[in-house]
Amino acid sequence: MLSDKVDKVPDKIENIQDLEGVGPVTAGKLTDAGFDSVEALAVAPIREVMDKANLESSAVTKIIKAARQAIQLDFINAKELWEKRQGMLKLTTGAKNFDRLLGGSGVETQAITEFVGEFGTGKSQLCMKLSITAQQPQKDGGLEGKILFIDTEGTFAPQRIHQMAQAMQLEPEKILEGIFYSRVYNSDHQILAVDRSFKLCQEENIKLLIVDSVLSHFRSEYIGRENLSERQQKLNAHLHKLTRIAQALNLAVVVTNQVQANPQAFFGDPTRPAGGHILAHASTHRIMLRKASGGLRAAKVIDSPFLPESETFYRITEKGIEDATPKARRED
């Protein structure tokens, strides 16, 4: 179900069959193609519905318009936008300073948060930690929802979640039950997993959708300059879908990303996030992670529309991640 805070529509059309222009046959085609709810249709691109459901452009245009009207998606005034933002929830990382870095109370719903960093900086640890905190009550910084964890690298570790939950004095088995897991083996599989996730997210009250990591398959499959534009096109559509899910269902999307060498950097950081402008544009918040001295890690906000660029330190522990203070605040 849509969160009460997002969905304020009085006479809600529940079924796609009740939309103007949708008869039983069309409803069947749409459902088979994965567009089985009014919300899914309202946020779908026309082209995609045409292709997947094998329907005419004029019919699809009409249906999408009806779906948007049904959930009043087309025009909202700034007050409604403000109200929608008020419905935004925050998800704690379990570490105060880290949450503060993220703007106060952690990761936001209705947005994509991207954790970028080299291997071993704790990206997957963070994702696993958030899979636990997201299930906690809102008063404890959670989202009171379930998690969809899309794993592209096979590094999701239920035993690690079990350990963290135990260390946090929660019931590990209950926590594990609240996580839907999907191991995806290539970029098309990844795209499909997200395309199909709308219904699951809605029905199962998913409040956190993780893609760890978002780019690895794309990077290994589309090699060479000649394939870059196709890659970026697919990636763009994929990220837009994630954004729409985040907004339509008031859930948090967290993606991880690696760094790549930045040949243009004569000064400063010789690495930059992979994925180019497309990913930079799609992520609402980007957090750069790095290894610091003494086994610590440092996190820094980059490119945020409203968060200040500051740095905080953390340590990976039994409980997941914890705030830390470096011995000498000099950077290594």
Nearest distance, CB of residue 156 and Mg ion, angstroms: 9
Cβ-based nearer residue to ligand ADP, 28 or 120: 120
Nearest distance, CB of residue 106 and ligand ADP, angstroms: 18
Task: Give contact residues for ligand ADP (rule: CB under 6 A).
Answer: 117, 119-125, 155, 160, 163, 316-318
Beta bridge partners of 297: 291, 314
Nearest distance, CB of residue 140 and ligand ADP, angstroms: 22
119 binds, among Mg ion, ligand ADP, none (CB under 5 to 8 A by kind): ligand ADP
Nearest distance, CB of residue 154 and Mg ion, angstroms: 10
- Which amino acid is it at 201? C
| Exposure class string for 96-117: b at 16+ Cβ within 10 A, else e | ebbbebbbeebbbbbbbbbbbb
Residue 330: in which H helix or E strand, if any? none
Can you point out the beta strands (E) in the chain?
A: 90-91, 107-108, 111-117, 146-151, 179-183, 206-212, 252-257, 259-261, 271-273, 285-291, 297-302, 311-317, 320-323
Please tell me whether residue 124 binds Mg ion under the rule CB under 5 A.
Answer: yes
- Nearest-CA neighbor of 108 among 294, 318, 306, 326? 306
Please tell me whether residue 257 binds Mg ion under the rule CB under 5 A.
Answer: no
Residue count at the site for Mg ion (CB under 5 A)?
A: 3
- Nearest-CA neighbor of 155 among 212, 220, 215, 93? 212
Joined together, the tokens standing for residue 244 give 């729409």
- Which amino acid is it at 193? A
Contact yes or no for 180/146 (Cβ under 8 A):
yes
Please tell me whether residue 157 binds Mg ion under the rule CB under 5 A.
Answer: no
Contact region for Mg ion (CB under 5 A) — 37-45, 107-115, 147-155, 174-182?
A: 147-155
122 binds, among ligand ADP, Mg ion, none (CB under 5 to 8 A by kind): ligand ADP
Q: What is the DSSP string of 141-184?
A: T--SSEEEEEESSS---HHHHHHHHHHTTS-HHHHHHTEEEEE-
- Nearest-CA neighbor of 83 among 1, 138, 8? 8
Contact region for Mg ion (CB under 5 A) — 25-33, 118-126, 230-238, 307-315?
A: 118-126
Cβ-based nearer residue to ligand ADP, 77 or 169: 169
Contact region for Mg ion (CB under 5 A) — 86-94, 116-124, 135-143, 183-191?
A: 116-124
Nearest distance, CB of residue 212 and Mg ion, angstroms: 6
316 binds, among ligand ADP, Mg ion, none (CB under 5 to 8 A by kind): ligand ADP
Dihedral sign from CA coordinates of 22, 23, 29, 32: positive
Please tell me whether residue 131 binds Mg ion under the rule CB under 5 A.
Answer: no
Cβ-based nearer residue to Mg ion, 119 or 306: 119
Nearest distance, CB of residue 306 and ligand ADP, angstroms: 26
Please tell me whether residue 243 binds Mg ion under the rule CB under 5 A.
Answer: no
User: Looking at beta carbons, which residue is closest to Mg ion?
Assistant: 124
Joined together, the tokens standing for residue 311 give 């740095």
Please tell me whether residue 61 binds Mg ion under the rule CB under 5 A.
Answer: no
Cβ-based nearer residue to ligand ADP, 3 or 163: 163
Which are the contacts of 129, defined by CB distance < 8 A and separation ≥ 6? 93, 94, 164, 320, 321
Cβ-based nearer residue to ligand ADP, 22 or 128: 128
- Nearest-CA neighbor of 8 among 60, 81, 111, 96? 81
Please identify which residue in 3, 61, 72, 155 interacts with Mg ion, judged by CB under 5 A: 155
Nearest distance, CB of residue 220 and ligand ADP, angstroms: 16
Contact yes or no for 93/107 (Cβ under 8 A):
yes
Please tell me whether residue 291 binds Mg ion under the rule CB under 5 A.
Answer: no
Contacting positions for Mg ion (CB under 5 A): 123-124, 155
